[in-house]
């Protein structure tokens, strides 16, 4: 029988109130506590390397940063995460090279059953979020579970991204909608 962590990692419904997952969240919380008080980027990077699943070269995470586990987050090279970001990483969060994030971006790779009877069981499940290369995610953007954002995308500040966004476009609004292409035809 699969453990709750195995269920979580495979995208199945699972119970987050499990001793193994509690320990994983506690570990992540301790590392975030350190990360969020270190003033210099080089020292912060050492903690980020312990916290996140993968950190590419020259990638930077500014305080304050919050996540559930950390090990489900993968940053490409030259990624810049600005102040006050929250990445709920029950599912995988994968970010491509040279993508930049404004302050207060929230990424939710977690979901809950729609049926209230199912929710009473306190179960949840991960839905992976993927962000391509060369993206600019504006301040206070919210990215919902299961969304894929293509390469070369700009998402305007304050947008709520509820559906996939194709490559090389600008999107904004609530819900976010594509408003133009950034590639010359």
As annotated, the active-site residues are 112
Query: Reading across the β-sheet that carries 80-81, which strands appear in turn?
Result: 60-61, 80-81, 100-101, 136-137, 154-155, 169-172, 177-181
CA–CA dist 50, 85 (Å, integer): 18
Q: Give the chain's end-to-end CA distance (angstroms, integer).
A: 54
DSSP 167: S
CA atoms of 74 and 54, how far apart (whole Å): 5
Exposure string for 5-17, b = 16+ CB within 10 A, e = fewer: bebbbebebbebe
Whether 154 contacts 165, CB under 8 Å: no
Give the DSSP letter of residue 182: -
C-alpha 155, offset from chain centre = 15
């Amino acid at each position: 029988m699969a453990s709750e962590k195995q269920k979580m990692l495979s995208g199945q419904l699972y119970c987050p109130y499990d001793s193994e997952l509690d320990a994983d969240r506690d570990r992540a919380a301790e590392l975030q506590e350190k990360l969020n008080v270190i003033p210099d980027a080089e020292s912060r990077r050492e903690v980020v390397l312990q916290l996140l699943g993968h950190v590419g070269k020259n990638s930077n995470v500014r305080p304050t940063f919050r996540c559930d586990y950390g090990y489900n987050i993968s940053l490409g090279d030259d990624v810049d995460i600005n102040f006050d970001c929250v990445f709920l990483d029950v599912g995988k969060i994968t970010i491509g090279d040279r993508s930049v994030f404004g302050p207060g971006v929230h990424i939710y790779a977690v979901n809950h059953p729609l049926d209230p009877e199912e929710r009473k069981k306190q179960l949840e499940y991960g839905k992976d979020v993927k962000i391509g290369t060369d993206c600019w995610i504006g301040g206070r953007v919210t990215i919902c579970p299961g969304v894929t954002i293509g390469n070369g995308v700009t998402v305007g500040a304050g947008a709520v991204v509820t559906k996939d966004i194709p490559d090389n476009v600008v999107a904004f609004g609530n819900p976010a909608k594509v408003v133009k292409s950034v590639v010359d035809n």
